[in-house]
Structure 1
């Protein structure tokens, strides 16, 4: 490059550049943006203003050299955005532009000319971008008045009057009062057609409004309108398709209003005082603010005294003095040794969710012993209300203290430490000292002083291909956006369940590329895996796209609603592309089917398996918020933990039905496994919980006799099976009802020879008699699973401490 060429070439460069990108208007505001023009971050007067002056749209500075493209209220004394194009990707304060291409695509470019955001729109005719008095930013065809894109369809944390909230849109809170990036809370329509509030934190997720402990009709909502649409009018009146209705406290025309998903997890309707530019709350979803999940983080407690504040339990300290979402951490180490742990109590305190189980009619000491013997138990909540309700907690999340709450929380601590509760209710103030600026991981080219002929040729060539590049970028963005939309939808579809969502790569690594198979069934294969935190898990890989997705939806939805010590717990799931995987807790001894024909199960273990399985199924039938059928009870779906305690697994074939509904037979296909299926399936009769009762009875007879229902075996002295005649149920019934001299002889005849000779004759006979009741042909003659559990537990309690209950036969 030579010096005498510099000035002419610079002039040529500048003239050529601005023939391609039009100069923006120099006026203080712009009514509309035409195709081929742009708004610049370096021009504060480059903003769109609504005709009535209520709203502005343009670049707004939110940090050191960091800008958002946003729409905001002009009359508010504080920056009040109602929409943002790039809330999670701020742009540079130099050379960034919002550019409306002549082909109809609106693009937000960063300083290095990379595309941060785009509408992915096209038009064969001229286009314009304008801001309406409603606060809606609209991209239209100029002559035809056809809308190509509008901001109302893509809300961030706010909706305005006449703006629809639909099943394809959601409000996501800001991270904090001054950090406008995506936060932890969202308002959205769930799959059950209910408008809900969700906490989606760094590690866990949970729905907290409407009250998850109550069914929809108890809170005035309906699940039967699947239009999933909500709107509020200029009068301040809100209507939703799930029957949620409210009116602002200043109902009527006049105030400018906004409905915002606030950073603290509450949804509020605000009205603007145009005289002083301040906002007043005219309605809010939650009045008991401490019931909002995630406010004070793990081990934290939300209290009102009288203002809401966060504090740590005695013996705990704030994890991050600048961020309550990190919660508190203990200053002591817990041991699994029951003698090394003790408890202190705090009245009127609860931690919502994450109960290991729920038991009634327990004394305080019994509840305490359950928590002591459970290594993962962090505390327990106990209600002294005549019912003796016990809730052991495996995690201390969503903590709050209210005088109206009658329970008492008992915190497990090291027995060699004492903790003072003196300043517990004072709350802890966070340190608000400014942090060092966070630099975005982007680099920018430095401005060149000299321009060579080579530079010009490169520039002209680039211009020739720039449209092609934009088209390719647009196609790529559309592909990624469409691809990710399924993942986002799945994420919010299951976020309410509270599990972790794993990537396929994580689970592939955890299983060593699916190398160790530990089980196989009709829905898929189960592999052993080790997660990054060293937890051992069982990972079920569902097979077949159609069947796998259906199984996936059924299992995740069902398991998300239940929690019982005799039901398998799910740790998470994967929904990525065609992959559908479920992550369960790992049980050491595998399934009952694997152990049934070995010598590992003595009589005591078998009876405990019978009781535990009955309790788990009874919970599914009677204690869940919805009526849950398993539909495939068999030994392969009863897993045994390290102590041979049973856990009912595999709800892939279950059917969720409204307990109060009229139709309990809406099954499209026959479900279950041959040999364990109730007659109703074959006779096409209405399906009720009695199908599970029948299957349970077959499993119990198989466990007592050691003989399969489908291939009836009689074991010879060498332990090998030979073919026998008849069916399992008629054979056992005949032996017990008429063919034997005594009960003892009857039991001996049907009993599995692998069972140790020492057993309780009365319990053995009871189990067989109950099992025979369960397999009655007429479903109304069968007991419920709750009655089965009561019969077995009643005999267990009546014989505690009795001598001579076991018999030895030679």
Structure 2
């Protein structure tokens, strides 16, 4: 009887997840002591939770490629294991001499073969006490020091999976795997947005954007709340999911004590799974998106997604396009024909009912005819087609597309897609069906990927061997000293530049090449606080703009270069400047951009070339570019120096926002008022909150600058000018004074607009434009709209009665 009681007490101890008694009383394999290691070569070097449910160790992810992770111990019916966490998913280690070690300082370090620097570490800076690594019953791998404090845990840095009782917070997003056989970071992300709402977002090779909840409707309509005091969500053991943004759901088998997980899958959907232990399979018990074709990026550009008769999802290239990568649909399709010039009458439209491509509109026309919509597309040089949709208000709207992405087919659609194709291929296009294509690969029995295992030699060890051989052969101490001096003083710039090129993917130019292209920097086309811009003619006959960065002390020139490259490398929008490459040779640091034929807005403000229609298009395009920076890309980018000099105009007078040298790339969840140590921008365009240390800096600083630029375009006056003693130099105050003096009449418009601008204008439309600009330049940042709201107001300016 006594032995039975002791056995029951021991069983209860096994169920406790985190207790010092458990960690100290149990020997390996659930605990790794300070100073100990797990080796990739020893297959028995594993940590197993006391209940046997989870295992931690090195997991094979390819040919001679291993990641350290946590997985469910029991294999599935196909003998595979389900990974729930990985430390080094993007940098696998070698199958020999790689180790995970618990240092006596309390840090956890993963080393790849004989590489001098660790591949991954917990990097606990203030850790000085020894700690032990523990695998507990909930699947959490954690470090616990001598004071029984948890100083690091895998639950705090998830990969693509949440386990029951593991919290999703603002600092712990989930990122999908690249594919079913490639565990590296994929294109889909579940995270808490800056408005406190859980969202799913796509960050693909060329575009990015959120798709769940439905971006067409507000968070409130989706049943979410943006007024949470904290950002957290958790799935309990009974299958109930609770989130601070009012997202609640129960799994289909709730109340059953099943083994569960929540995963952002490789197809971009967020699902809950329960383990059917008798069959050895995972069953879906809840999913975020029922129509999986609504997941963005699933089929790539110039392709569409459709659901087959057996509920299988299929991707298809649109007619006269072919698949780019036959193993990955996310790369999309490319045209088999040469695109025609703008407005040359050589295009026609191919009609596809019940198809749509979400987003990427170059133009929106409300309440229009089909012929007018076709003309609207033909008037836009980069128009790929248009969506003609019957709205619930009883009229048709036209959505002109400059990219064909997120295509899908649905019988519930009230519209049709019209693809622009050359007349020469039009008869062939009509004979092709858009629904022909290939199914997505969904099998779990895919071949293991092959990962190139190329290792750098340890420079220290190689140098020692070289010196020993040299000493034995020649015995010349003086030569050894010279080699040692050379080794100690050689510049690491080559290594850094190689890393920079690999990290950005941009072309790397030599200084001599750029000097030749710019004819020894002879034709200056612009200058600013960050450097001088020259026109360059390259060997492939492309014309570009070469920005020579100024030399700064303390490596500020290089910091500015890295800032622009890291920022622009994540952005893709028709109203943002396109960067081609860079140069970083000793003190020479340059950036290469596309060349803008019509220069900057500042150069054209007082010319006769910009009529009122062009000015309106420039205002709208600039707003779209800034809205993308603030809200559509996965990272939040503040420009911080919006002004006419940084708005460039191409040959068709389309605007592109440029010069991100002083921009700040921020994580959406960083405390904003702690990241800026000095004011940024240009006098006259800077928001008032820059002047106060205790005011948080948000995207509203760009909104303010944009409002000033709009007023400058409308009035023709510089914001730095002192228009009157009463206005105190503020352009918006001067305009408001004119409005108040008019006493409710609209005669004040003629007093504030630039009379030198050619062309007629609609007084009502102009009044709304000015009021939008005034709202943007409000002194109170909370009174300013967001840039997406500005875009909406400008797109529907003729439909709104008041702002």
Asked whether the two chains share a fold, i.e. TM above 0.5, the reply is: yes
Q: Does 1:441 align with 2:447?
A: no
Q: Does 1:311 align with 2:316?
A: yes
Aligned partner of residue 139 in structure 2, secondary structure: coil
- Contact 1:299–1:327, Cα closer than 8 Å, also in 2: yes
* Equivalent residue in structure 1 for 2:429, among 419, 426, 430: 419
Cα separation, 1, equivalents of 2:773 and 2:325: 61
- Could you tell me how far 1:221 is from its partner in structure 2? 2.6
1:502-554 CA distance string (max 9 Å, x none): 88988999987996764567999877789999987779999999xx99xx99x
Q: Does 1:594 align with 2:603?
A: yes
- Could you tell me how far 1:315 is from its partner in structure 2? 1.5
Query: 1:529 and 1:359, CA in 2 relative to 1: closer, same or farther beyond 3 A?
Result: farther
Cα separation, 2, equivalents of 1:571 and 1:35: 51
- Contact 1:502–1:573, Cα closer than 8 Å, also in 2: no
Cα separation, 2, equivalents of 1:176 and 1:790: 39
Q: Which has the larger radius of gyration?
A: 1
| Residue of structure 1 in register with 2:474 after alignment | none
Q: Does 1:171 align with 2:174?
A: yes
- Contact 1:700–1:771, Cα closer than 8 Å, also in 2: no
Aligned partner of residue 369 in structure 1, secondary structure: helix
Query: 1:178 and 1:342, CA in 2 relative to 1: closer, same or farther beyond 3 A?
Result: same
| Residue of structure 2 in register with 1:741 after alignment | none
Query: 1:280 and 1:696, CA in 2 relative to 1: closer, same or farther beyond 3 A?
Result: closer
1:735-764 CA distance string (max 9 Å, x none): xx9xxxxxxxx99xx976xx9xxx88xx49
- Could you tell me how far 1:60 is from its partner in structure 2? 2.5
Aligned partner of residue 280 in structure 1, secondary structure: strand
Cα separation, 1, equivalents of 2:47 and 2:622: 62
State the TM-score, normalized to the length of structure 2: 0.63
- Contact 2:219–2:226, Cα closer than 8 Å, also in 1: yes
Aligned partner of residue 293 in structure 2, secondary structure: helix
| Residue of structure 2 in register with 1:134 after alignment | 138
| Residue of structure 1 in register with 2:438 after alignment | 428
Superposition map of 1:274-673 within 5 A: 274-305=277-308, 306-336=311-341, 338-385=344-391, 386-417=394-425, 418-420=428-430, 423-429=433-439, 438-443=450-455, 518-519=525-526, 568-569=575-576, 571=578, 587-591=596-600, 593-595=602-604, 606-609=611-614, 612=617, 641-643=650-652
Aligned partner of residue 373 in structure 2, secondary structure: helix
| Residue of structure 1 in register with 2:100 after alignment | 98
Comparing 611-620 with 330-339, greater Cα deviation is found at: 611-620
Comparing 765-774 with 510-519, greater Cα deviation is found at: 765-774
Comparing 309-318 with 97-106, greater Cα deviation is found at: 97-106
Aligned partner of residue 290 in structure 1, secondary structure: helix
1:473-514 CA distance string (max 9 Å, x none): xxxxxxxxxxx9xx99xxxxxxxxxxx988898899998799
- Contact 1:767–1:792, Cα closer than 8 Å, also in 2: no
Cα separation, 2, equivalents of 1:37 and 1:438: 31
Cα separation, 1, equivalents of 2:773 and 2:437: 61
Q: State the Cα RMSD in Å.
A: 6.1
- Could you tell me how far 1:55 is from its partner in structure 2? 0.9
Q: Does 1:31 align with 2:36?
A: no
Structure 1 alignment gaps of length 5 or more? 1-26, 447-453, 459-483, 489-499, 655-668, 679-686, 713-726, 738-745, 795-810
- Contact 1:613–1:648, Cα closer than 8 Å, also in 2: no
Comparing 56-65 with 181-190, greater Cα deviation is found at: 56-65
- Could you tell me how far 1:126 is from its partner in structure 2? 4.7
1:389-412 CA distance string (max 9 Å, x none): 222222211111111122211112
Query: 1:30 and 1:772, CA in 2 relative to 1: closer, same or farther beyond 3 A?
Result: closer
- Could you tell me how far 1:610 is from its partner in structure 2? 5.7
- Contact 2:385–2:419, Cα closer than 8 Å, also in 1: yes
Cα separation, 2, equivalents of 1:420 and 1:44: 59
| Residue of structure 1 in register with 2:54 after alignment | 55
- Could you tell me how far 1:639 is from its partner in structure 2? 6.1
- Could you tell me how far 1:34 is from its partner in structure 2? 1.6
1:545-602 CA distance string (max 9 Å, x none): 9xx99xx99xx99x99998xxxx54557999xxxx999998643235653465xxx55
- Contact 1:511–1:527, Cα closer than 8 Å, also in 2: no
Paired positions, count: 643
| Residue of structure 2 in register with 1:807 after alignment | none
| Residue of structure 2 in register with 1:46 after alignment | 45
Structure 2 alignment gaps of length 5 or more? 1-25, 459-464, 470-495, 583-588, 632-638, 664-678, 688-700, 724-730, 742-749, 779-784
- Could you tell me how far 1:345 is from its partner in structure 2? 1.2
Query: 1:279 and 1:539, CA in 2 relative to 1: closer, same or farther beyond 3 A?
Result: farther
Aligned partner of residue 120 in structure 1, secondary structure: coil
1:191-227 CA distance string (max 9 Å, x none): 3333222212222222222222333223233333363
Cα separation, 1, equivalents of 2:272 and 2:176: 14
Query: 1:298 and 1:613, CA in 2 relative to 1: closer, same or farther beyond 3 A?
Result: closer
Superposition map of 1:107-256 within 5 A: 107-112=109-114, 115-121=118-124, 126-141=130-145, 143-225=146-228, 227-256=230-259
Cα separation, 1, equivalents of 2:422 and 2:630: 37
Query: 1:510 and 1:233, CA in 2 relative to 1: closer, same or farther beyond 3 A?
Result: farther
Query: 1:236 and 1:524, CA in 2 relative to 1: closer, same or farther beyond 3 A?
Result: farther
- Could you tell me how far 1:650 is from its partner in structure 2? 10
State the TM-score, normalized to the length of structure 1: 0.63
* Equivalent residue in structure 1 for 2:87, among 82, 85, 88: 85
- Could you tell me how far 1:361 is from its partner in structure 2? 2.8
Query: 1:359 and 1:776, CA in 2 relative to 1: closer, same or farther beyond 3 A?
Result: closer
Query: 1:586 and 1:354, CA in 2 relative to 1: closer, same or farther beyond 3 A?
Result: farther
Cα separation, 2, equivalents of 1:41 and 1:631: 48
Cα separation, 2, equivalents of 1:187 and 1:266: 9
- Contact 2:300–2:406, Cα closer than 8 Å, also in 1: yes
- Contact 1:569–1:584, Cα closer than 8 Å, also in 2: no
Aligned partner of residue 419 in structure 1, secondary structure: helix
